[in-house]
């Protein structure tokens, strides 16, 4: 049962060749939002494929490997296993694990959080929600679909002042699975898919200052945060209703 005395374990996971600390401000904002609702929170920013100093070809190979995994093969995930092992070590020694996990991944990190969340559920852990931001499409296990949000940026260049909005090219990669009989059918999609208007490009979902600010709307980070937090609060309400049933 989820109550205000429950502990939220919040994980943010970066993707390819990312600077350490890149997701820290966004994680801190989500962390504080849970605290404001009265929850105890433990949060960490992780790099399932390494930071920008690690071999880039190796990172790309690992992300590509994980991206192709079907749900029945999630246990082979390289990034997912790294996250899962880190969480297992963090929980070592506890006789019970009453925590509720919220896992947020940007770019390739969004693939790793899906796989790690599934491993947690298979181990009877409580996964409140999984958020993929600007992530290549990957198959989402049926058990996770209702608990997964997919955020896709629609970008307009501030420099060129283009009036055309272009989808984040990274989100065009991969797929949600298809059958031979129905190749265009989404077989394993996330439960919620939201497009958000932003300025810049794929690395810019979390920018907080000009030129990534629109009058009357706010910064890219604010738009991303509001989308994610609105969905998380809906998940909290859904869990509360489920516990009452």
pLDDT band, residue 93 (cuts 50/70/90): low
Peptide bond into 150 cis (omega under 30): no
Reading the block at residue 40, the tokens are 């105890």
pLDDT band, residue 186 (cuts 50/70/90): low
Euclidean distance between CA atoms 75 and 116, whole angstroms: 9
* In the predicted structure, residue 1 carries a pLDDT above the cut 70: no
Q: Indicate the pairing of strand 148-156 with strand 126-133.
A: parallel
| pLDDT reported for residue 150 | 99
- Do residues 228 and 131 touch, judged by C-beta distance below 8 A? yes
- Do residues 147 and 120 touch, judged by C-beta distance below 8 A? no
189: Cβ contacts below 8 Å, ≥ 6 apart: 140, 145, 150, 176
pLDDT band, residue 156 (cuts 50/70/90): confident
- Do residues 123 and 151 touch, judged by C-beta distance below 8 A? no
Q: In the chain, where does DSSP find H-type helix? A: 24-36, 56-67, 78-90, 109-122, 142-145, 220-244
How many Cβ atoms from other residues are within 10 Å of residue 25's Cβ?
Answer: 13
- Looking at domain 7-244, which of 3.40.50.150, 2.40.170.20, 3.40.50.1820, 2.40.50.100 is its CATH number? 3.40.50.1820
| pLDDT reported for residue 241 | 78
| pLDDT reported for residue 178 | 57
- Do residues 151 and 227 touch, judged by C-beta distance below 8 A? yes
Average pLDDT of the segment spanning 40-63: 97
| pLDDT reported for residue 165 | 85
pLDDT band, residue 236 (cuts 50/70/90): very high
CA distances from 25 to 29, 46, 137, 222 (A): 6, 13, 25, 11
| pLDDT reported for residue 180 | 43
pLDDT band, residue 67 (cuts 50/70/90): very high
pTM of the model: 0.93
Secondary-structure percent of the chain, ordered helix, strand, coil, rounded to 5 = 40, 25, 40
Euclidean distance between CA atoms 36 and 213, whole angstroms: 26
pLDDT, one tens digit per residue, over 165-184 is: 899 999 999 999 754 444 55
Euclidean distance between CA atoms 92 and 99, whole angstroms: 13
């Amino acid at each position: 049962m989820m109550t205000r005395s429950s502990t939220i374990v919040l994980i943010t996971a970066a993707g390819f060749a990312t600077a350490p600390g890149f997701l820290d401000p966004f994680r801190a904002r989500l962390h504080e939002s849970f605290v404001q609702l009265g929850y105890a929170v433990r949060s960490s920013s992780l790099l399932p494929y390494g930071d920008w100093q690690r071999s880039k070809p190796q990172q790309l190979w690992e992300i590509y490997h994980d991206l192709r995994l079907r749900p029945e093969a999630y246990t082979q995930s390289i990034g997912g296993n790294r996250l899962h092992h880190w969480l297992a070590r963090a929980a070592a020694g506890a006789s019970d694990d009453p925590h509720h996990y919220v896992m947020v991944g940007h770019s390739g990190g969004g693939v790793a959080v899906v796989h790690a969340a599934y491993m947690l559920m298979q181990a009877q852990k409580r996964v409140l929600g999984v958020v993929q931001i600007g992530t290549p499409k990957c198959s989402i296990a049926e058990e996770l679909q209702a608990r997964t949000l997919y955020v896709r940026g629609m970008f307009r260049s501030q420099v060129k002042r283009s009036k055309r909005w272009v989808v984040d090219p990274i989100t065009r990669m991969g797929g949600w699975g298809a059958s031979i009989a129905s190749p265009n059918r989404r077989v394993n999609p996330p439960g919620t898919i939201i497009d958000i208007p932003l300025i810049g490009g794929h690395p810019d979902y979390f920018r907080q200052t000009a030129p990534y600010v629109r009058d009357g709307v706010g910064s890219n980070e604010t738009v991303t945060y509001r989308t994610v937090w609105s969905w998380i609060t809906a998940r909290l309400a859904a869990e509360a209703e489920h516990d009452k049933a």
